[in-house]
């Protein structure tokens, strides 16, 4: 067992932990990062399958994500635009695929008007919120007492409008059914992206991708830090803490440090045994943040056949199995890659099936938008972060009903030398790599101020 003495030990080599370590290192602090997996990047992860680049985890970057943009600029990493040319496809309640241009779904004018009304309401509420302190919103207590599902129906009788708007946050972002989280949590999701308009505009929120992939950002930071700082295959299951510091116990390395940054998702905080135990407020708080569940489906074809048909590959179906679909062809590749998402209850149903039945059902779901050519991909791959010990869900964690107002104020408090950092605790960039980077920088800055102060 190797023993190290450092100013700061970071637990977790995802974007948040690595950014924190990078900032600390630049400020002249000694640091070690202990990572459970045999790779860096956490919920960002890339593989190449039959020649096609597949981003298994986080991948898109939007113009408001200036925290992440400033990091990639510093690292000299470029971005490329997602393929957006051509018509989108909407799958209506009768299962008909309708190609359309513009931002509005091809539904009845009255439904479009109701959707716009709900979107305006969400925009107004989001504008009143500081995403760093959602619990201080003027209606925070009230909004946290009602599920997003019921909140939408409180404001509209148009079931289709409620479903269509609900999709953007429930299946699309928090990846939980809309009846399981509050309207306040939904407003935070909108506010964290600048507005609800931004969230519902796929050309904004899914604007660009990273050359070298999103995991490449973590790899570039880890490379700059080097092997003397980042230690893979070192899950920390025990953390001793006291007035002057901590001892973090990894698999093959222990680190004594003045401070620790726990840069893992909140649903995993209780995997670590804290000695002594954490205060009761944290014990309770940590039980109310849970992961959503989504299957990210990749299907790779010999060519992007939908482009020849004047389609962008962007498809939506609020009632469909695959509720969103996009052209996900990596820059420079001649094959065509589609990425689809299957969320919460529909994901549960898919994991109940055997492999063959699951593949058939999902490809049928994609073909419902783009026709029979979609049935025969050369690569078919399902991201399964829920089965990964060091994540246990996707995309990220959110509070249960009433949890954000009650427990949120405690989430960013440090406990003596222990600081928490992850995208799940971010205001701006909440649940996104941008939020992870912002939180990493914030934790590092707080610690540098303490150590120097």
**Residue 444 near residue 452, CB atoms below 8 Å:** no
Least Cβ distance, residue 425 to ligand FAD (angstroms): 8
Segment 268 to 307, residues that bind ligand FAD, using CB under 6 A: 268, 271-272, 296
Least Cβ distance, residue 108 to ligand FAD (angstroms): 32
Binding mask 328-347 for ligand FAD (x = CB under 6 A): --------------------
Least Cβ distance, residue 273 to ligand FAD (angstroms): 10
Q: What residue number has its CB nearest to ligand FAD?
A: 14
3-state secondary structure the chain: CEEEEEEEEEECCCHHHHHHHHHHHHCCCCEEEECCCCCCCCCCCEEEECCEEEECCCCEECCCCHHHHHHHHHHCCCEEECCCCCEEEEECCCCCEEEECCCCCCCCHHHHHHHHHHHHHHHHHHHCCCCCCHHHCCCHHHHCCCEHHHHHHHHCCCHHHHHHHHHHHHHHHHCCCCCCCEHHHHHHHHHHCCCHHHHHCHHHHCCEEECCCHHHHHHHHHHHHCCCCEECCCCCCEEEEECCEEEEECCCEEEEEEEEEECCCHHHHHHCEEECCCCHHHHHHHHHEEECCEEEEEEEECCCHHHHCCEEEEEECCCCCCCEEEECCCCCCCCEEEEEEEEHHHHHHHHHCCHHHHHHHHHHHHHHHHCHHHHCCCEEEEECHHHCCCCCCCCCEEECCCHHHHHHHHCCCCECCEEECCHHHCCCCCCCHHHHHHHHHHHHHHHHHHHHC
> Whose Cβ is closer to ligand FAD: residue 160's or residue 205's?
205
> Whose Cβ is closer to ligand FAD: residue 190's or residue 264's?
264
Binding mask 38-77 for ligand FAD (x = CB under 6 A): ----xxx------------xxxx-----------------
Least Cβ distance, residue 230 to ligand FAD (angstroms): 11
Single out the segment in contact with ligand FAD by CB under 6 A; choices: 74-82, 100-108, 260-268, 321-329: 260-268
* Interatomic CA distance for residues 93 and 416, integer angstroms: 54
- Residue of 8, 9, 16, 325 interacting with ligand FAD (CB under 6 A): 16
> Whose Cβ is closer to ligand FAD: residue 9's or residue 162's?
9
> Whose Cβ is closer to ligand FAD: residue 214's or residue 315's?
214
Question: Tokens 């928090």 label which residue?
Answer: 174
Binding mask 353-392 for ligand FAD (x = CB under 6 A): ------------------------------x-x----xx-
Segment 203 to 242, residues that bind ligand FAD, using CB under 6 A: 235-236
Segment 411 to 440, residues that bind ligand FAD, using CB under 6 A: 422-423, 431-434, 436
> Whose Cβ is closer to ligand FAD: residue 88's or residue 218's?
218
> Whose Cβ is closer to ligand FAD: residue 16's or residue 46's?
16
Single out the segment in contact with ligand FAD by CB under 6 A; choices: 36-44, 177-185, 304-312, 410-418: 36-44
Which among 285, 202, 263 has a CA at the least distance from the CA of 438?
Answer: 263
Least Cβ distance, residue 296 to ligand FAD (angstroms): 4
- Residue of 115, 264, 321, 374 interacting with ligand FAD (CB under 6 A): 264
> Whose Cβ is closer to ligand FAD: residue 87's or residue 208's?
208
The site for ligand FAD (CB under 6 A) is made up of 11-17, 34-37, 42-44, 57-60, 235-236, 263-265, 268, 271-272, 296, 383, 385, 390-391, 394-396, 422-423, 431-434, 436
């Amino acid at each position: 067992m190797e023993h190290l003495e450092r100013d700061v030990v970071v637990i977790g080599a995802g974007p948040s932990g690595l950014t924190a370590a990078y900032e600390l290192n630049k400020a002249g602090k000694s640091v070690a990062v202990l990572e459970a997996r045999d790779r860096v990047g956490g919920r960002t992860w890339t593989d190449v399958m039959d020649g096609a680049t597949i981003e298994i985890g986080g991948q898109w970057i939007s113009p408001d994500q200036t925290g992440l943009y400033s990091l990639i600029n510093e690292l000299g990493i470029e971005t490329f635009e997602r393929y957006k040319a051509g018509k989108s496809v909407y799958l209506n309640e009768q299962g008909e695929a309708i190609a359309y241009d513009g931002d509005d779904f091809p539904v009845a004018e009255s439904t479009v008007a109701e959707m716009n009304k709900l979107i305006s309401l969400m925009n107004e509420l989001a504008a009143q919120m500081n995403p760093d302190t959602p619990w201080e919103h003027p209606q925070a207590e009230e909004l946290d007492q009602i599920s997003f599902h019921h909140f939408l129906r409180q404001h509209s009788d148009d079931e289709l409008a409620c479903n269509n708007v609900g999709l953007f946050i429930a299946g699309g972002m928090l990846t939980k059914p809309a009846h399981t989280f509050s309207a306040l949590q939904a407003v935070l999701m909108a506010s964290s992206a600048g507005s609800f308009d931004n969230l519902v505009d796929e050309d904004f929120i899914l604007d660009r991708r990273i050359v070298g992939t999103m995991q490449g950002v973590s790899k570039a930071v880890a490379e700059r830090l080097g092997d003397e700082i980042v230690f893979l295959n070192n899950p920390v299951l025990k953390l001793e803490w006291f007035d002057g510091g901590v001892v973090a116990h990894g698999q093959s390395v222990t680190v004594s440090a003045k401070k620790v940054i726990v840069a893992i998702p909140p649903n995993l905080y209780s995997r670590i045994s804290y000695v002594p135990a954490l205060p009761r407020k944290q014990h309770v708080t940590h039980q109310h943040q849970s992961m959503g569940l989504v299957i990210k489906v990749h299907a790779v074809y010999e060519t992007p056949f939908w482009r020849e048909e004047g389609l962008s590959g962007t498809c939506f179906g609020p009632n469909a199995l695959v509720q969103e679909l996009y052209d996900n062809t990596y820059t420079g590749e001649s094959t065509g890659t589609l990425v689809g998402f299957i969320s919460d209850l529909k994901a549960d149903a898919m994991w109940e099936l055997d492999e063959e039945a699951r593949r058939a059902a999902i490809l049928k779901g994609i073909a419902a938008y783009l026709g029979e050519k979609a049935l025969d991909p050369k690569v078919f791959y399902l991201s399964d972060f829920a089965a990964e010990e060091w994540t246990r869900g996707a995309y990220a964690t959110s509070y249960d009903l009433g949890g954000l107002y009650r427990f949120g104020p405690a989430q960013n408090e440090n406990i003596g030398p222990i600081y928490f950092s992850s995208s799940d605790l971010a205001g701006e960039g909440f649940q996104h790599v941008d939020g992870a980077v912002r939180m990493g920088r914030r934790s590092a800055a707080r610690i540098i101020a303490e150590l120097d102060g």
